[in-house]
Amino acid sequence: MKALIIIAAVIVFLILIYLIQPRSRKLFIKNLLKQLFYLFPRYFT
C-alpha cells in the first residue's frame, strides 16, 4: 500500500512538472513518451 502511494505521488509530481512546461517542451516530451514503447525493439535493429 505504501509503495503504491509513493508511486502515485511520483506520478502526480511528474504530471505537475509536465503541466508547467512551455508548449514546445510539452510537444518534445509528448513525442518521446509516444515512442517509449518502441525503444526496446529498436535497440535490436
d(CA 25, CA 37): 20
Q: Which grid cell is 13?
A: 509530481
The residue type found at 13 is F
**Site residues (CB under 8 A) for other proteins, limited to 5-34:** 22-25, 27-28, 31-32
CB of 29 vs other proteins, minimal distance in Å: 9
For 45, the 3-state DSSP assignment is: coil
6/18 with CB nearer other proteins: 18
Residues that bind other proteins (CB under 8 A): 22-25, 27-28, 31-32, 35-36, 38-45
